Structure formats: C-alpha cells, structure tokens
Amino acid sequence: MNKLFILVITIFITVSCSNNDSKVKTISDVESFLEKVEQEDKTLGPVASSAYWISSNFITYDSQKIVADFGKRYSLMSVQRANEAATFDNLDLPEDMRRKLDLIKGGFVMPAPLDETLAGELANIESELGAMYGSGTHCFSENDCYDLEAFEQIIDSSRNPDELLKAWTGWREIGKPMKDKYLRMVEIGELGAKDLGYDGLTDLWFSKYDMPAEDFLDDTDRVWEEVKPLYDALQCHVRDRLHEEYGDDIVPSEGMLPAHILGNMWGQSWANIYDIVFEENPNAESIDLTSIIQERNLTEIEMVEIAEDFFLSLGFEPLPDTFWERSLFVKPVDRNVVCHASAWDLDPATKDVRIKMCIEKNAEDFVTIHHELGHIFYYQAYNHLPSVYRSGANDGFHEAVGDLLALSITPDYLTQIGFVTEEKAEAAEQDPIALLMKQALDGVVSLPWTLMLDKWRSGVFTGEITKDNLNSSWWELREKYQGIASPMERGEEYFDPGAKYHIPGNTPYTRYYLAKIMQYQFHEALCNEMGFEGPLHECSIYDNPAAGVKIRDMLAMGQSKPWQDAFEALTGERALSGTSILNYYKPLQEWLEKENEGRSCGWE
C-alpha cells in the first residue's frame, strides 16, 4: 500500500503540473479534476486514516515516523489539489462545481507550502506534538508519576487545595517542551496559507462558514453577548459558594475564580463541583447517573450499546459489526494511547467507522459516548455523497448533533431505558433547578472557553501574540471571557495552552462554540415539531421517529449546501441565536438572579 501511495502521489503531481499550464480551462477540465479527486480519496484516504489510527493507538517511535511520512505526502497532495482548483477561478461554473472547488481550496487546518522539505518538517512537528500529548507524564519524584488520567482523577474529585494545585501544575509541565515546536508549526502553516491565496491561517480558518470571515466573527460575538448575562450570574454564584468552601486564601469574595479548584483540568466544565455550588433540597429526589451505571455493573460496551439504542429509536440503522470489532473502548494496560475520545470514518466504501475512547463508568463518559456516536451516525448519513461533501454542514454541526442527544438524557428518558422508576423521575423533576444546575455547569460554563481558545490561537497566527507573551496572553483571555485566573504566577517559560489536546492536536475550537449554541436551537425546534408542551429542559426526543426523520434529512446533506440551508432544514431559521439556550435555562437564570442579590458580581 505504501508503494501504491507513492505511485499515485507521483502520478498526481505529474498530472497536476501538466495541467497548470497556460491552456484555456473548460468545464470538461473541471469534471476530470473532480473525478480524479474522488478516485484519490477512495484509494488513498483509507490508507492514510489507518496510519493515523495506528499512531493514536500505538504511540511508538515507528508509528509516529509512519504517520509523519503519510502526513507529509497527504499535505503535499492537498496543496497540489488546492493550487489546481485555483486555476479554475475565472471560469463561469454551475453552483455545485464552484462549491466543490472552493471546498478543495479551503479544506485545510495547517497547510504546508508546496515544498517537500517544509511539508516534511510540518508533518514531523504535528506527529511529535501529538505524541508528546498522548504519552505525556510528569514525575515529582521517582515513584510519584502521573499521566493525564491520573491527574484528572485528582482534579475531578479532590477537595484538598494542595493536592489540586499539585495535579494542576503537574500536567502543565508537559507543555513546556511544546512551545518552540508549536511556534515553528504555525510559522510553516502561515506560509502554506499564504501560498493558497489567504492572508494567513486566521483568514483560512474563518473562511469556511459560507459568509465573510468578519461577518461570521461578528455573529459569534453577537450571540455571546446575548448569553453572557446567564454565564455571569452562574460565575457569581459559583464564586460565592467556593469562597464559603475554601475561604479567602483560596477564593476571593470578588473577582476571578482560581482555575485549579473547578473540578476540571481546564476549567471548561464545573460539573464535578456541583455538590459544592448547589445544595439540593434534602427532601427532593435526585438521580445519580454514575451510581446507577456502577450499581448495574454495566460494561463499557454495554454503555455504548445503550447509546446506540437511542439512535435506533429515532430510526437510524444499526452500527456495522466492524464498529464493535475495531473500536477502542477500554484503555490498554500494555501501551500508550491517545485517550481523548474521538470518532473515526476510516473507509466510507466499507462503512469502517469506529470510536476511540478510554471509557470510564461514570455519567460524564455516558454522555460522551452519545456524543461520539453522533459523529458516527453523521458519517453514515452522508456516506453516499462525493468525498468533498462528506463533512458536516460546517464544523460545528458534527459536534452539535452529538450534543443534541445529551439534552434528551432526561429523567423521563432514564425511565424509558429502565434506569429509574417513574416515581423517581417524577420526584426528580420537582426540583428543576437541581437538574438545570447540573447541565449548566457544563453546557453554559463551556461557552466562553470555546470562544476564547481560537481567539488566542488567532492572535498567534496573526503575530499579535508572540513568543514573549504567549502564556500571559492566554491567561489574559481566560480572565476576560471566563473570569478564571491562574492560581499562581505563570511566566513565559510555561506553555499552558499545550496542556489542552486541541492546541498541539491542531483542532479548531470555534466548532464547539457553534455546537453549544446550535444544539439548543436544534433541541427547541425538534421539541416544538413534536408538539411537546412543558418546560424545554424536560423534553426528550428519544423514541420519536418523526424527529429522527428531520435529523437524518439534515445530516444527509453533508456539506453539499451552505450551512444555513442545513440549519434551516432542521430549525426553520438561518441564523444563530442565544434565545433557545436562554429559554432552556430560564428557570435557573431567574433563580440565580435572586440568589445573587447583595453579592458583588462581575470581574475586572
């Protein structure tokens, strides 16, 4: 296969170079080019995907060397494609052809210049950064070593501020050696983006939303301003409760939240400190999903089967046998793997779809499994389309579909699948603030985090953020958007962004912001379509085939139409709005406003 890959790449480059002469281009030339792209994706895509799968599941010197080699070749091929697609810019083409060419030109995250040496260097850096994160460990002494999972166990559950600080700082040690590699990667990527005709990586990244990049960014800020009062009220309440728990030395009564005591390694979710920030009515019933999973002694595969059943109840086809045979569900004991949960579409022709996840038997991973299967069923829904269209309507759609199902894991849903009795579900619904607080500590808390991460990255891309303020600018943005501060001084010898997978892994993050907004718009539209009457947070689309039809029709469009068209197909609207998320959390926001009376809310 490796020889085949080299042969096809050589033929492709030769043909591309011969096509880039001064002859007049025709529609027939475009058709031939698109047919060639389709064939290459069919032949080469599965081989490259398998190489990346191996590199994530067997982190060794050899696997990283192989994937770096594949990365270099695929990057060169993609740049060649983009350059050839650009030769048709002046042709008057049918809308479908023009869209395909534009997607080929803009389908990059970190493009290499059309230079074999730089492409190889970029591929090596990307492989090295991925391996540094996936195999990252830190030792305080010879017998006191931790990987991410071990550090996370402390952050997620400890209430000892010294232990929490140790785990929080320990994991961030892995970022230090990434700094220079990351900056060099961006430097090469900027050259590649400019070679493709973009102003730089920022222009490239935000040109993919079927609207001018500046308008898109204005739109995301507009929606954030709509939702921000809800987040501000939540931050104020959480700070007050943490102040009571830890005292002035750890949590001031005004201003920022210290990042290490929020129950999450990155402070992007505060769900694990729910017991501190909300005191449930002692007479009220609550549902502890983690306890239910453990009491029922569910296996990791059974947790995945339950998530699959949700999709089957909506009318989706069962997952293929190969999904169960080839996915990774449990962390191996004999090797390092990248445990960050992910979904894979290795070969559309054979329906080879998989997830890779080190499943823990808890509520968080139960929800995450539903999310990852959302990706898988999305892959299968647009499998029939040409390869250039086999993607989400925009990169936020894939995330939103998985997140959508999480909103339907309601007490009624848990009753339908036999996890709790009807009496237990009804009792839990009597205290909606408890239910909404649990969800908001993840669904609302994550919003400014998902917005600021790419704002930082964009600053690095444009050169506004340099090596001299790489870390301080990170914390300035976290303070501005999240009201979260580092628990200690973090100089420029640190590279704290590297402690988050999506930075060394080069995964754009605005998609998660879009997903967090869109999931509530999807949910509200489907519940309205179902004729659901009652509080929005009590609605579940489980076992509703009509909702399934609406979802599948949208998923099947892939990226073949502007994302606004797909969005309208499901919601009846063409623009993002914060209204649905505010409608969902309306009871909680009203409760927070009363709780915060007399408190000093906000931060500088």
Specify whether 512 is catalytic. yes
Q: What is the end-to-end Cα distance of the chain in Å, rounded?
A: 58
Specify whether 584 is catalytic. no
Could you tell me how many residues make up the chain? 604
Check 52, 231, 413, 512 and give the catalytic one: 512
SS3 (DSSP) at 137: strand
Task: State the DSSP code for 352.
Answer: E
Check 243, 274, 340, 595 and give the catalytic one: 340
Check 372, 429, 479, 524 and give the catalytic one: 372
Structure tokens at 138: 């830190």
Where do runs of H (alpha helix) occur along 87-206? 95-106, 116-134, 148-157, 161-172, 179-195, 201-205
Check 138, 370, 371, 537 and give the catalytic one: 371
| Ramachandran area for residue 121 (φ above 0: left; ψ -120 to 50: alpha; else beta) | alpha
User: Do 399 and 382 touch, CB atoms closer than 8 A?
Assistant: no
Largest pairwise CA distance in the chain: 80
Is 241 exposed, middle or buried (CB count within 10 Å of its CB: 0-12, 13-18, 19+)? middle
Check 370, 398, 502, 523 and give the catalytic one: 502
- The 10 Å Cβ neighbour count of residue 295 is 10
Residue 276: CB partners within 8 Å, gap ≥ 6?
Answer: 159, 241, 242, 245
Bridge partners for 344 per DSSP: 354
Task: Say what angle helices 545-555 and 510-530 make with each other, to 10 degrees.
Answer: 140
Backbone angles phi, psi at 353, to 5 degrees: -115, 145
Specify whether 138 is catalytic. no
Residue among 168, 248, 233 at smallest CA distance from 486: 168
Structure tokens at 247: 């005292």
Check 190, 399, 429, 479 and give the catalytic one: 399
Check 341, 427, 546, 569 and give the catalytic one: 341
Check 237, 375, 523, 537 and give the catalytic one: 375
Specify whether 523 is catalytic. no
- Alpha-carbon torsion, ordered 8, 80, 353, 357, to 10 deg: 120
Catalytic residue numbers read 340-341, 371-372, 375, 399, 502, 512
